[in-house]
Amino acid sequence: MTTYSFSCTTIVVGKKASATGQIMFGRNSDTNPASRAKHLKLYKPTSQTAGFIALPYYNTEDQDGMLQVATNEFGVAISATETITSNAQALAADPYITTGVQEFNVTKPVMEQAATAKEAVKLIGARIAKEGAAEGFGIVLADKNEAWYLETASGTRWVAVRVPDDAYFVSANQGRIQEVGLDENGKFADGYMGSSDLISFAKQHGFYKEYNGRFDFRLTYQRINNIQTGGMDNDVNYNYLRIATLQNKFSSTSTENFKNGEFPTFLKPAHKLTLSDVEAGLSDYYQNTGNDPYTNPQASANYRPISVFRSSNSHVTVVRDNADQKIANVEYIALGMPNLSIYLPFYYGINEVPHAYQIGNGNADDSSAFWQFRKLQALVFTDFAHNEPIVRKRFKMLNDLILADQATMESKYKTSGNDQLIQDFVNRSTELAIQEAKKLTLELENKYKIAHPDEKVEFNNSYYDQLTLDIYNKYRFPGF
């Protein structure tokens, strides 16, 4: 059987691999179905817990669940989670625990307590050891000093690695941690953490594996073959080209042999990476290649791209070395499909989430931020090759204006310390983006009417509900 997963693509950039000297990490949050709206929510601090800002789904917000992108008052930031799966041998020896830690419940306890990225890793690891993991996942955790990537190994085991300052990391729905550093006593070396019996447990149960004479975590614990056939077809079609494409973008590596699935965990970029580099990576859909599924019908079933219609959001978090946590970390959030959206900056220092980002559900509407972007994205697919460049050009122009306004706001804030400057900027930028999405939607509706004079299309919310469903069904990209 073929499955359709809630999968994602993750990028982490070390501070010395970053053009600004700041850690960056981003992820496309892909979901089922494409009509599942996202909200932004502020969690106020209490006497017992830290405050934070997070991005749940509309139907998980009341349970404080699926808080997939978050940053707290201590400057600790998280992206949760990348869908991965342990292999059959590891799960036979240590199966998932249905009541354990999962994407739904992992974020809130960490954001409420962690004062550093390393502490955040230890908090999650302790929970996995005590409660078990309900599913396989990878999580990014970062502060101004360091970024970590944690992966589940099995039901109650895990490992984490510090991303080297001068390197970057990419992941696409498979375990990506390979070498695990050990000291002369067999203990985790600096920059590594995990279950104390990670290696001995695998040896005891007969699934321990090495690569070039050294313990390999990925080979030992993670699923890297299609479990139905024993082959690698689904991973080739679904995962590998995403990793190869990003490593080619950032390090000019070859994509010719991507089907063997052998990618380094960390690479140094050919040039120091910028915010726009990471956003462009997350917005990639194999454009200008024969594998572009949106303009080349013959390619539509070949390889799953990085940017897909069922992305509920994409984000890039910039973790900055700033004493004032109200503006230290910036979450650049694009709702919906990233190449047809705009990355807008949000700060922990806002006092209230813009109203349009507090509303929206599973049905199209005229008011929520999510649906203004999703309706436009759905309409683009009626003539993707011609509509997509129009949308990208207009959002690029607006993005440049917003970034200039952002720099001005931050300069004034640093002088005055006036919180209202942050709030006014976020309100202003989100309103400009929503209005631009609405203008573009109207323009493309009129363009469609001119191109199809015999069709009597009523562009109401019911139409967009159906169009969203149709496009979602067409571009599901079987695999994983």
Q: What residues does each domain of the chain span?
A: 8-357, 369-474
Helix (H) or strand (E) holding 170: strand 168-171
Q: Is residue 159 classed as helix, strand or coil in its secondary structure?
A: strand
The confidence score (pLDDT) of residue 166 equals 98
85-to-58, 183, 199 alpha-carbon distances in Å: 26, 28, 18
The confidence score (pLDDT) of residue 477 equals 83
CA 200 – CA 418 distance, rounded (Å): 55
Q: What is the DSSP string of 361-379?
A: -SS--SS-HHHHHHHHHHH
Per-residue pLDDT of the chain (480 residues; tens, 9 = 90+): 233 445 799 999 999 999 999 999 999 999 999 999 999 999 999 999 999 999 999 999 999 999 999 999 999 999 999 999 999 999 999 999 999 999 999 999 999 999 999 999 999 999 999 999 999 999 999 999 999 999 999 999 999 999 999 999 999 998 999 999 988 888 999 999 999 999 999 999 999 999 999 999 999 999 886 555 656 556 888 899 999 999 999 999 999 989 888 899 999 999 999 999 999 999 999 999 999 999 998 877 789 999 999 999 999 999 998 889 999 999 999 999 999 999 999 999 999 999 999 999 999 999 999 999 999 999 999 999 999 999 999 999 999 999 999 999 999 999 999 999 999 999 999 999 999 999 999 999 999 999 999 999 999 999 999 999 999 999 988 664
The confidence score (pLDDT) of residue 479 equals 64
The confidence score (pLDDT) of residue 62 equals 96
The confidence score (pLDDT) of residue 228 equals 53
Which residues are CB-neighbours of 84 under 8 A, at least 6 positions away?
Answer: 136, 137, 138, 151, 152, 171, 173, 174, 175, 222, 223
Locate tokens 């640093």: which residue?
414
4-to-49, 66, 157, 189, 375 alpha-carbon distances in Å: 37, 19, 26, 38, 23
CA 316 – CA 27 distance, rounded (Å): 7
User: What one-letter code names the amino acid at 69?
Assistant: V
The confidence score (pLDDT) of residue 224 equals 80
Give the β-pairing of 192-194 and 168-171.
Answer: unpaired
| Of 23, 131, 30, residue with least CA distance to 78 | 23
The confidence score (pLDDT) of residue 186 equals 83
- Joined together, the tokens standing for residue 102 give 């999962």
CA 137 – CA 176 distance, rounded (Å): 11
**CA dihedral (330, 335, 337, 339) positive or negative:** negative
Name the class of domain 8-357. Answer: alpha beta
Which residues are CB-neighbours of 127 under 8 A, at least 6 positions away?
Answer: 101, 106, 109
Given a contact cutoff of 8 angstroms between Cβ atoms, the answer to whether 277 and 250 are in contact is yes
* Residues known to be catalytic: 8
| Of 248, 271, 246, residue with least CA distance to 19 | 271
Q: Is residue 479 classed as helix, strand or coil in its secondary structure?
A: coil
